[in-house]
Amino acid sequence: MNVHVQLYSPLKEFCGESRLELTLPEGAAATLMLDTLAARYPVIRPFLRNAQVIIQNEMVHPLHLLHEGDEVQLRLPMFGG
């Protein structure tokens, strides 16, 4: 199945892309998507453990099952003041 991933700062700067398409096995969980991204872009591996996975504008748990054509956003929580 194919899912579309939108990356936000700083992930998009590290990857050099803001939008990716990933092919994953049917019924894959978001954790497999994160592992796939970490294997493709090792520099973002440390950031992915804190990434917020958002599907169809709703934050989901990393064990959430993905579906064909899902639009996934990956964001990092921002801190500061």
51 pLDDT higher than 70: yes
DSSP-derived secondary structure letter, 8: -
> Domain range for residue 10?
2-75
pTM of the model: 0.90
CATH of the domain at 42: 3.10.20.30
pLDDT value of position 56: 87
Question: In whole angstroms, how large is the CA radius of gyration of the chain?
Answer: 12
Residue 63, in any domain of the structure: yes
pLDDT value of position 80: 54
**Is residue 77 very low, low, confident or very high in pLDDT (cuts 50, 70, 90)?**
confident
What is d(CA 34, CA 53) in angstroms, rounded to the nearest whole number? 9
pLDDT value of position 78: 75
Residue 81, in any domain of the structure: no
- Percent of the chain predicted with pLDDT > 70: 96
81 pLDDT higher than 70: no
Contact yes or no for 22/3 (Cβ under 8 A): yes
Residue 29, in any domain of the structure: yes
Split into its structural domains, the chain has a count of: 1
